[in-house]
Structure 1
Amino acid sequence: MINGLKLSLRHLPELGKYGLVLLTIVFISFLFPDSIRFKYEFEQGQTWRYSDLRAPFDFPIKKPEAEILAEQERIKADFSPYYSLDPEVARRQKRIFEEQFRAQLNEVQGTGQFNDVVRNARNYLQYGNQLLDRLYSQGIIRLAPQHQDKSKDFVINVVRGNSTQKQTVQNILDVEAARELITDSLPYSKLYEAEFLLPILPDLIFPNLTIDDSLTNRFLTESLEGIVTSSGMVRQGELIVSQGGAITDEVYQELLSFRDQYLQQVSGEQSYWVIFSGYFLLTSIIIGVFILYLRLYSAPIFQKYRQLIFLLLWMVAYSYLVYAVEKTEALSVYIIPFCIVPIVIKIFYTDRLAFFIHIVVILLASFLTSLGYEFTLLQILAGIVAIMSNPDARDWSKFFKSMVYIYLTYALTFLGLSLIQEGGLSSDDGYYYVWIFLNVFLTLLSYPLIPLLERVFGFTSSITLVELSDMNRPLLRELALKAPGTLQHSLQVANLSEAAADAIGADQLLVKVAALYHDVGKSLRPEFFIENQSGPNPHEGLPYLESASIIIDHV
């Protein structure tokens, strides 16, 4: 029992690594959409590369989106908005008129002015009320801002109580026209002193016919909802498209309609956890194959927690990045700099591992994005070019050239796909080239990331090795001052070891730097080492053991 417990404890570190892998798989699986993915991929104008497709159920053929939008715009353009007549405005203004009339009448009484008004005040008051009644019953309109540029024959629905009547705006007075009508009509009235009303009546004109947003929106919505969105019906068992057949405009619309109906029906029948299980299984296979590769061909990497975490973090980070961009309509997944992955991984490891983890990241991203196989093809090709065009992190000129190669790979591959799928370039393609330019620009962040990752994970890159090989480094300068003979010896060993490493395919820079620093311990007591001696050997007067101890201590 004790031996079994010890054996279990010895396997805890190994189980912890698999726990990290499982945690990564679960996290990424929760990022995937909760809906069924359509199993067919198709493009308008291409051939159907699957077997004959027959309708498994009845479904309507949806009209093209552009046709529906055009019909919606036509309905909006022809729609007559609703303007409601407010009777309270007339009542309020008539009360104000009577108050102002009596106040003005009191002012002129006893002055000898407007004697006819004083004698027949009732007639003047009645005339003013009738004039206001007539104007307000017809309606004094205030056009909504969105209707002010309409022509005079623009038709509106005038709502009076429970009745509605269509009228053109040219037959309805606005405030200015109503005031002019009062000013022009008063001199022709039967009143002897009609000018008495002139300071009062025009200022009492206010709009009582205004837009009724509630009614307008309700009836406009009903009109838009009444649009017929289908142009036909496909019956169960009917052939939609045959294998090798051309996907014409008509067939393409049928396929889109079938896809929408299929996803709607199947998604409704399946629970979230069934879909999650499918994504979890696929993610497990992809990452599981990667872990198997590490166990077989890069076992030292799998044995170290920090290196395993470093590799798994790339999968998690890019999966979440794709998920976040997909949620943002303003951005495209093509802006994400996937080529950072192989560039950085190659700096710390090998080309083969860089390519393998790049493939894993792209496969996971392909399930998260709504883009088709074109996305996977573009990213894999760009990753291959990124690996091949960055042979050494020490050469900045090659790094910037590789950015040009990556952009050309994206651009030319997309151009080829456009020619195949669309027979030429479309106006929307320009946006793609902007996205990939931003993508390549962001890829420049790969080099600033390297020092940060070195500090966080304790790695050593070729950039650091180049810095260490600088002869102006403090340790090498101290060695040159205290033990110049040792420095010359180290330089010779460095040159020889670099040539040997090149011959056998080893890391030349790492071997060279190791050789430069392999004897720095001699700077503590340089006179005891023969390459620094120009006179008597101090070892001759020392006991053998002490002499050997001094030599060993330099290591």
Structure 2
Amino acid sequence: MKSFVSYLYKNQDLFYKVFLFLLTTFLIVYLFPKGGKFQYEIPKGKPWQYENLYAPFDFAILKSPEEIAAEKERINQEHIPYYEYKDQVAAEVTADLEERFSETFPDTLTPNQLNQLETFVDQTVEDIYEYGLIQEIVPRDPDQLVFLKKGNVASEIPYERIIKQNELRDFLNKEIDESQLQLFREELVGLFFDTLRPNVSFNEKLTQDELQSRYDQISYTRGNIERGTIIVAKGEVVEGNKLQVLNSLKAEYESQVWSQANYNWMILGYSLLVFLALLMLMLFIKKYRFDIFQNNIKVTFIFFNLLLMVLLTVLVIKFNVKYVYVVPLCILPLTIKGFFDSRLGLFTHVITVLLLGFIVPDSYEYMFLQIIAGIVTILTVSELYKRANLFITVGQITLVYIVSYFAFTVIQEGSIYEVEPETFLMFLFGGVATLFVQPLIYAYEKVFGLISDMSLLELSDTNSKLLKELSDKAPGTFHHSLNVANLAEAAANEIGANSMLARVGALYHDIGKMKNPTYFTENQTTSVNSHDELSPKESAEIIIEHVINGIEIAKKRNLPDRVIDFIRTHHGTTTVYYFFKKEKEINQHADPDDFRYPGPTPFSKETAILMMCDSVEAASKSIKEPTSRLIDDFVEKIINKQMEEGQFLNSNITFMEIQLVKKVLKRKLKNIYHLRIEYPE
């Protein structure tokens, strides 16, 4: 058993993905409309556009949903629920009270007091369990009648006679006051609360069986239509009884086409197709986006968006299939691209369109239009954080919809006169709805803890309140952060990491230095060093504390968690080497852990890049007479030491990528320290 639990714990990520996969499959199949499709669209409140319709077979006229709902509501109002009374619980509680009574009340009390208390307890228990105690789940009207079933006998009583658990304290206090036992209130209440247990529960099965029995007696039909009878004539307005007869014919048609056996096979077919489609998406993520596959939150986010688009489309189809193109399906690739990348966005969009092709009318036309629109979305949108780009992309998507629909209509009808102008309006509404992607991305950031380029762009503004505060309080640190941001951005671009994220992380990684700015050399403007009056250990504590202070400031200013990760990891678990060496000069047995940053070590390419850039930029200030060879050796020495200490073991950065980062840092530092020729005066 222990090994099985250990196996489950070790593979919990995999089990979660399997659960998510199966749950999504189930929900999509559940959402899909099932049954045969009636060959006519029923235009409620509009003229019948088809030829005269005659009854193809005998069928009954169904009552309207409103009529059925009214009958069920009447039954619900008249129906009396059943509650189960358990005698055994009451007997057990009485026995427990007798045992605990002597433990609760000491022998020092007078016989009269003990007798009075014992009588009170017995009478109170009898009163409580006369009709029972219930842990109320479904609140009911106190005057409502219910059946209380004791054994095989059910008695009809007002619901208020059953004591609710949340009313127990008030009931006990009232009884204690009436019995003049206020002196023992705390002991009595504690005794009852430790001992009493609910013994009445709602008998849902019996209640539902009784309710269903009454439902089964409802007649769902009123009258019949014989075969050959005219149902509706061409041009006749479909409303009232005509509408109900047409709906009855549609229901009868679908029930005849789909028997129970057909229905089960259809569910199996839907399940297999949805399973295969989602499996392709999962395999794609695992093979080509393994970092996303390892993150359950990101996988959940992708499947949630896919399910959301299916849900919206199904709801619109159930409302009116004519509005199917109002659903802004292109929000899906826009959102996925905004948080991840174009390839994953397009693949997810295609899988979603394939799933929706099962349930929409003119599925080939629908799928063609949506896939083309998705491709245009992915190819045209860039820098989503720029509002103009989003409007341009939405305009292009709408244009593609209109042109494609026009082409299909001309092919099918052979004339431009059959084009429906209102469909163009649907495309326009769908395009406008796509603009909702920006607030949606903002909401996703808060719910799923993700961060988009739009938020990163806002954070990268050096005129933001927090960065201006850093510039005022610690100008040297601010300048250092700018330099590190430039280095980190260049390095991230070189290895294909998120350069915007790396830049933002670099800008904020040292905000903790605002608390004690003069204890950091870049902010010291005089020859006085604040560390001269401190021991090496005290100095190291202040230096290390800037990481903790930075995290506190970042959380207080509501910085995203992914940015806070840079503050936590930019020193990893390295030591404050300068003060450690000073301490060793005083104490040979100095503990390096006293001078070690709390960590954790970097756990992404971007945080690993920041650690390298931060160390190299800070240490480069110590180079007196820089040369090309000196800079190369300097960069190699610092980064190799970090590798030897295992600082990059938890980040998914490769040795080749580290070499590329080194190359960028060497090139950038050489540009920074490039010596110009000395101009004559």
Specify whether residues 365 and 220 from structure 1 end up closer, same or farther in structure 2 by C-alpha distance, changes over 3 A only.
closer
Q: Counterparts of 1:359-508 in structure 2 under 5 Å?
A: 359-508=350-499
Aligned equivalent of 1:547, options 526, 539, 546: 539
**Equivalent residue number for residue 3 of structure 2:** 3
Matches within 5 A, 1:279-358: 279-329=270-320, 331-358=322-349
Offset of residue 320 of structure 1: 2.1
TM-score (normalizing by structure 1)? 0.58
Structure-2 change in CA distance of 1:425 and 1:263 (3 Å):
farther
Aligned partners of 1:314 and 1:361 also within 8 Å: no
What's the counterpart of residue 35 of structure 2? 35
- Between the aligned partners of 1:473 and 1:66, the Cα distance in structure 2 is 62
Give the Å deviation of 1:489. Answer: 1.7
8 Å Cα contact 2:301-2:448 kept in structure 1: yes
**Do the aligned partners of 1:465 and 1:510 also contact (CA within 8 Å) in 2?**
yes
Displacement of 1:276 after TM fit? 0.5
Residues 480 and 331 (structure 1), Cα distance of their counterparts in 2 relative to 1, 3 Å cut: same
Give the % identical residues: 36
Letter in structure 1 aligned against 2:29: S
Match of 2:230 in 1: 224
Q: C-alpha displacement at 1:266, in angstroms?
A: 6.3
> Is the 8 Å Cα contact of residues 319 and 368 (structure 1) preserved in structure 2?
no
**Distance in 1 (alpha carbons) for counterparts of 2:411 and 2:51:** 28
Tell me by how many angstroms 1:13 deviates.
4.2
Q: Give 2:111's aligned residue.
A: none
Question: CA–CA distance in 2 between the matches of 1:19 and 1:546?
Answer: 51
* Mapping for residues 11-90 of structure 1, pairs under 5 Å: 11-35=11-35, 68-69=51-52
Question: How far apart, in 2, do the equivalents of 1:535 and 1:426 lie?
Answer: 84
Bigger drift between 504-513 and 433-442 goes to: 504-513
Report the alpha carbon displacement of residue 32 of structure 1 after superposing the two structures with TM.
2.6
* Larger mean Cα displacement after TM superposition, 353-362 or 302-311: 302-311
Residue 399 of structure 1 aligns to which amino acid in structure 2? Answer: L
- SS of the aligned residue for 1:367 comes to coil
Deviation at 1:359, TM superposition (A): 1.1
The 1-side partners of 2:359 and 2:25 are apart by 14
TM-fit CA distance, 1:67: 7.2
Distance 1:289 1:71 in 2: 47
Q: Does 1:519 align with 2:510?
A: yes
Matches of 1:349 and 1:389 in 2, distance apart? 16
Letter in 1 for 2:460: S
1-structure distance, mates of 2:464, 2:411: 57
- Residue 17 of structure 1 deviates from its aligned partner by 2.5
Counterpart AA for 2:8: S
For structure 1, the residue ranges without an aligned partner over 5 or more in a row are 39-64, 73-217, 228-261
- CA 1:422/1:496 → structure 2, altered by over 3 Å: closer, same or farther? same
Structure 2 counterpart of 1:320, which letter? L
What is the rounded CA distance, in whole Å, between the counterparts of 2:229 and 2:517 in structure 1?
97
Partner Cα separation in structure 1 for residue 472 and residue 264 of structure 2: 71
Q: 1:541 to 1:437 in 2, by over 3 A?
A: same
Q: Is the 8 A contact 1:31 1:368 kept in 2?
A: no
1:226-241 mapped onto 2 (5 Å cutoff): none
Q: Which residue of 2 aligns with 1:135?
A: none
Aligned to 2:662: none
Between structure 1 and structure 2, the one with the greater Rg is: 1
So what's the TM-score if we normalise by structure 2? 0.47
C-alpha deviations, 1:334-354, integer Å up to 9, x for none? Answer: 111100101111111111111
Cα distance in 2 for partners of 1:492, 1:377 equals 49
Contact 2:333–2:377 (Cα < 8 Å) also in 1: yes
Q: Residue type of the partner of 1:289?
A: M
Unaligned runs of 5+ in 2: 39-47, 56-223, 234-252, 548-681
**2:369 partner amino acid:** L
What do the CA deviations read for 1:424-478 (whole angstroms, capped 9, x no partner)?
A: 3233431221110111011111111111111111111112112222234332122
Structure 1 residues 222 and 352, CA, compared in 2 at 3 Å: closer, same or farther?
closer
Instruction: Please give the alpha-carbon distance, in whole angstroms, between the structure 1 residues aligned to 2:29 and 2:54.
Output: 41
Indicate if the aligned counterparts of 1:322 and 1:368 stay in contact, CA closer than 8 A. Answer: no
Cα distance in 2 for partners of 1:348, 1:4 equals 37
Contact 2:54 2:228 in 1 (8 A): no
Does the CA-based 8 Å contact 2:37-2:254 persist in structure 1? yes
Partner Cα separation in structure 2 for residue 474 and residue 226 of structure 1: 70
Q: Say which is worse superposed, 532-541 or 277-286, in terms of deviation.
A: 532-541
Q: How does 1:142-291 map to 2 (within 5 A)?
A: 224=230, 267-268=258-259, 270-291=261-282
Cα–Cα, structure 1 residues 225 and 4, in superposed 2: closer, same or farther, change >3 Å? closer
Partner residue, 2:522: 531
